[in-house]
Amino acid sequence: MTFEQVKQILKTKTIGIAGCGGLGSNCAVALARVGIGRLVLADFDLVEIGNLNRQFYFYDQIGMLKVAALKQNLSRINPDVRVNTFDIRLCQSDIIEIYSKCDVIVEAFDKPEMKYMILDAVLNFLPDKYLVMGVGMAGWGDNNLIRSRKSDKLIICGDELNAIAENCPPLAPRVGVVANMQANAVLEILLGINENQIHSEN
């Protein structure tokens, strides 16, 4: 497929992104760049200075709602992407309502309790929906530990080992790798496996 053909398919698709921190903001940017049709973003937080070490926001956006700042940034990259924003702390019923029309849902929360909540909601109430999760990305280095695996319509990206800790902070490189891995998994779901590409064995 050429990039023009890729864009023709992607412009008809809607992706839900739950959380607009390090994973969500960077994943949204990657999907906007390749021409996704619509993004549905949700986050209740404001941009803080401490977010700028990994999240796709700018210094002059500190204090803005993340969803509003991200919408602004996405429109500066690709104004054709339609962006719907929800500045709420998502609960299960919100997830079911907001994301039921999306082609794929990207989990981009920071807290494990929230990750559990969305997984539980999607597996039990939206079983036909693909869910792409990010699990384990704190720290730096060890590129080869980061991977992805699939179980039916659930895809998990990350090292599944490194949680955030005082001495293991989340930083742009590893968080960005996992966020872009999630965006890459979304493309594979939407476009299928590219036959004109060399693939890994698993």
Partner 1 sequence: MKIILNNKEEILEGDKLTINELLKLKKYTFKMLVIKINGIMVKKTEYETATVKDGDDVMVLHLISGG
The residues of the shown chain that bind partner 1, judged by CB under 8 A, are 19, 21-24, 107-113, 115-116, 119-120, 123-124, 134-138, 149, 151-152, 154, 156, 158, 160-164, 170, 175, 202
Separation between Cα atoms, residue 136 and residue 100, nearest integer Å = 26
Separation between Cα atoms, residue 135 and residue 111, nearest integer Å = 10
Of 87 and 110, which CB lies nearer to partner 1 in the complex structure?
110
CB 12 to partner 1: min, Å: 28
Of 7 and 150, which CB lies nearer to partner 1 in the complex structure?
150
Of 10 and 178, which CB lies nearer to partner 1 in the complex structure?
178
CB 5 to partner 1: min, Å: 32
CB 182 to partner 1: min, Å: 10
DSSP class per residue in 139-175: SS--GGG-EEEEETTEEEEE-SS---BTTB---HHHH
Of 16 and 136, which CB lies nearer to partner 1 in the complex structure?
136
Q: How far is CA 139 from CA 33, 164, 188, in A?
A: 27, 8, 27
CB 10 to partner 1: min, Å: 24
